[in-house]
Amino acid sequence: MDGIVHITGKKKLPYLSDNRFFEHLGFEVVDQAEPYFQLMALKWHDAVAPSFKKQMKISNVDEGIPIYYTAQCPFAIGIVDELKK
């Protein structure tokens, strides 16, 4: 394991962590995905910086609303299923 990553927001949003807290802990912004996602990393070794996938940086709103989620939140799967309906 080469470190820890966390997604934060460029501005204060109710569903994203504030990046100032993580900067205080030594995290650095290593990548950004517009309009407001930031990927922060706390690296322990001389590891390659993590980054968002290319798909995360391309927004095609004409095809619907993009929803990004991970298995980190136990409620995400159920909510996504509800939103699809």
What confidence tens digit (pLDDT) does each residue in 23-59 have? 999 999 999 988 888 999 999 888 888 998 887 777 6
Residue 9: how many CB atoms within 10 A of its CB? Answer: 16
As beta bridge partners, residue 3 has 43
3 vs 15, which has greater pLDDT?
3
- The backbone torsions φ and ψ at residue 21, rounded to the nearest 5 degrees and listed phi first, read -60, -45
Q: What is the pLDDT of residue 64?
A: 65
Cα 5 off chain centre by: 9
Structure tokens at 49: 């910086």
CA–CA dist 56, 68 (Å, integer): 8
Please report, rounded to a whole number, the percentage of residues in the chain having pLDDT higher than 70: 81
